[in-house]
Amino acid sequence: MAWVLRGLRDGVVTSRYPRRPDGYGDGYRAALSVVEGADAAAVDGHLGEKAALASLCPTGAIEVGGRLSVDRGRCILCGRCVEARPDLFAFDPAPEVATLTRRALLVPREHDDALELVRSELAQRVRVLRRSIHIRHVDAGSDGSEEWEVAALTNPVYDVQRLGIFFTASPRHADVLLVTGVGTAGMAEPLRRTFEAMPEPKVVLAAGTDATSGGLVYPTYASGAGIGSIVPVDVWVPGSPPSPFSLLHGILVGLGLLSEAGSET
């Protein structure tokens, strides 16, 4: 009876996202951004300061050249740069961080002429995938943190089933391949076979910094720079780990139901 009383007390706890904005989702460190107005030209003439800025990141996500930029695909959200230089770096709490190209994870973003072609090609390919979407999740060598967030998608708060999205154990029943982990050598062939066993059309998500770039441990003898060299990736979801809201945003972007991060459409 305790769960009945708790339900009556708490009411409906399921998020209305994406139909309505959810304030709870904005409480995460979703991604790192360069503070608006921060200009790398201020350090162009000081090699020592440029090197100091780059050294703030343990994964090499900070780039200082003609401008200051951050590669969200390599960022593990440790916060060292924000703590040291809050005038240049800040956390972006908005969970909509998924992009359709790896290059688009570099912020501030530059205009990419090829992005519209990628967007239209994906939309054309997945136009029949609208209801009863099935996801096959593959751990290709993660540290386990992403798995907790993926599992949370099925709890009462996020409840992806309400959107007609389900997880399946068989790749032959799957529409979406959700991959976590760095893409270890031992998982490369199983991941390829899973991809090949899926029927067309299919969508591949690289979920988390490990899957996107290899994360903190790249490079090693056993892993490469993420899963992009193993299977073709359609959607990139940064974060270490990405929150369930970010994962859900990535899934919906892959299905053509939401716009990717930074999109003006």
Domain with CATH 3.30.70.20 in the chain: 31-92
| Strands lying side by side in the sheet with 133-139 | 165-167, 133-139, 176-180, 203-207, 235-237
Is the pLDDT score of 84 beyond 60?
yes
Beta bridge partners of 69: 63
How far is 79 from 85, CA to CA, in rounded Å? Answer: 10
Residue 43 pLDDT: 56
Write out pLDDT tens, residues 104-129: 999 988 777 778 888 889 889 988 88
User: Percentage of the chain surpassing pLDDT 90?
Assistant: 58
User: Cβ contacts of residue 229 below 8 Å, gap of 6+?
Assistant: 183
Find tokens 């959700």 and name the residue.
Answer: 178
| CATH 3.40.50.12280 is held by the domain 115-254 | yes
How far is 227 from 183, CA to CA, in rounded Å? Answer: 5
How far is 199 from 214, CA to CA, in rounded Å? Answer: 27
pTM above 0.85, yes or no: yes
Tokens of 25: 């989702």
Class of domain 31-92: alpha beta
- By the 8 A CB rule, do 73 and 105 touch? yes
Domain with CATH 3.40.50.12280 in the chain: 115-254
Average pLDDT, the chain: 88
Element (H, E) at 53: helix 47-55
Is the pLDDT score of 53 beyond 60?
yes
User: Percentage of the chain surpassing pLDDT 70?
Assistant: 90
